[in-house]
Amino acid sequence: METSNTAKTPPDELIHRARALIPMVRDGADEAERRRMVAPEVIAAFREAEFFRVLQPERFGGFEYDFAMIIRIAMEIGQGCASTAWVLDLAIMHQWLIANFPIEAQEDVWGSDPDAVAFGSYTPVAEATPADGGWRLSGSWPFASGCDHGQWAILGARFPSADGGARPVPGFTLVPAESYGIDDDWDTSGLAATGSKRIVCDDVFVPAHRRLDIEDAKSGTSPGALAHDRPLYRIPMFAVIPTAITGPVLGALKGAIEEFIEKTKLRKTIAMGAARPMAEFAAVQARLAEATAALDAAQLMIMRDLEETHAAADAGDAVSLEMRLRNRLTHAYVVKLALEAINGLYTVSGIGGINTANRIGRAWRDINAISHHISLNWDAGATRQGKYLLGLEPDGQF
């Protein structure tokens, strides 16, 4: 059943709620790492705070705000735990992705439960076999962050081409939680609390309307975009979807900077009995300044990109190739900046940084882990942009 949200919670109130939840997230970060998943009560608090409605269609009770809200929320929650912000941002972004599916699929997800969320794995690792009224799906999908908390899974699949050609059509399917299993193969040094486990399907039936072709999502012409007729859902997928995994980087770096300042003001060296305040060392001062500059630059870049992308969509213009490539470069560069910044802080944070409960050490582990995500790989992003600038054909996801 479709609903209408006549009194949307203002963006600043959502940010206020996120800020208020930082202590809860921070206090639970150690346990979340040990359990290798975000606590259910934290997810419940996010649902109560209405974060999952940020990009959800209004007709299903959502707010239809912009992608900048993902960054703003993650910069708060990420101060407490980057893994938790990662899971939250993906849940918010997946509401937007579900909105690109046909309306019938959206009814399946939100019709009886407007609070339902989805996690999953985008890589089309399995082949969808034609069946009467839809498809049958078997396979296993790794790196499904947050999957313990989802009512649905978004899973990549390969569909046979309509013209019988040899090249399959990559796309997504929607599968309810009762139809898949979870294989706990997640045991990592970074992003440990994301619970990015493996989803397993064994001959699951997927109705035909629960399919979304990647080509439609990346071009802004998906069935859901056409049905909603909103600029938000006409934005090409790859121009914005990595935003969900860059926001947690900024939050983690911000939290690490604040922790570094607080601790360094009190720290002294212990060397041959001659204690000196750590704050007096030029190297410490320089690493801190570099980190704050990196955070400022990264935030300005990604917010500029999102503002210009939304402006183009709102004006009814296509999000240009140049803009899409620029956005993808920024996604990778933001992480590069944050990686260099946290590595610098970690280097001068002392032996305490190796403690698993140390907030700077956790940010170092998590940001380094995030930098290994294929969508944020700097070499791939840089060479793609370089090719375009030199008049060559760019490759990759954009």
Residue 313, pLDDT score:
95
* % residues pLDDT > 90 (the chain): 89
Q: What is the pLDDT of residues 14-57, one digit of tens each?
A: 999 999 999 999 999 999 999 999 999 999 999 999 999 999 99
Q: Calculate Rg over the CA atoms of the chain.
A: 22
Measure the CA–CA gap between 365 and 116, rounded to whole angstroms.
Answer: 31
Residue 354, pLDDT score:
84
What is the SS3 assignment for 120? strand
* Stretch (H or E) spanning 173: strand 169-176
CB 9 within 8 A of CB 50: yes
Measure the CA–CA gap between 42 and 8, rounded to whole angstroms.
Answer: 22
How many CB atoms neighbour CB 310 within 10 A?
A: 18
Min mean pLDDT across 178-182, 263-267, 308-312 is at 263-267
Res 177 pLDDT > 80: yes
Res 272 pLDDT > 80: no
Rounded average pLDDT over 271-276: 69
The domain 11-113 having CATH identifier 1.10.540.10: the answer here is yes
Q: CATH class for domain 237-389?
A: mainly alpha
The domain limits of the chain are 11-113, 118-212, 237-389
Tell which residue, 146, 71, 110, 139, has the closest CA to residue 310: 71
The superfamily CATH assigns to domain 118-212 is Butyryl-CoA Dehydrogenase, subunit A, domain 2 (2.40.110.10)
Going from the C-alpha of 299 to that of each of 56, 129, 304, 346, 371, the distances in angstroms are: 24, 44, 8, 21, 17
Q: Whole-number mean pLDDT of the chain?
A: 95
Residue 3, pLDDT score:
58
pLDDT band at 357 (very low <50, low <70, confident <90, very high): confident
Res 6 pLDDT > 70: no
Rounded average pLDDT over 338-356: 90
Q: What is the pLDDT of residues 218-266, one digit of tens each?
A: 999 999 999 999 999 999 999 999 999 999 999 999 999 999 999 999 8
The residue assigned the tokens 């610098």 is 344
Which burial class, exposed, middle or buried, applies to 25 when counting CB atoms under 10 A from its CB (0-12, 13-18, 19+)? buried
Res 295 pLDDT > 70: yes
User: What is the chain's length?
Assistant: 398
Tokens of 355: 């403690």
Tell which residue, 296, 315, 243, has the closest CA to residue 68: 243
Measure the CA–CA gap between 156 and 214, rounded to whole angstroms.
Answer: 9
165 CB contacts (<8 Å, ≥6 apart)? none
283 CB contacts (<8 Å, ≥6 apart)? 348
Q: Is the dihedral of CA 68, 71, 75, 76 positive or negative?
A: positive
Residue 271, pLDDT score:
64
Which amino acid does the sequence have at 149? Answer: H
CB 135 within 8 A of CB 157: yes
Tokens of 309: 């992308």
Tokens of 112: 């009886």
pLDDT band at 90 (very low <50, low <70, confident <90, very high): very high
**Strand 211-213 with 169-176, pairing:** antiparallel
Rounded average pLDDT over 359-388: 95
How many CB atoms neighbour CB 320 within 10 A?
A: 14
Tell which residue, 155, 132, 150, has the closest CA to residue 205: 132
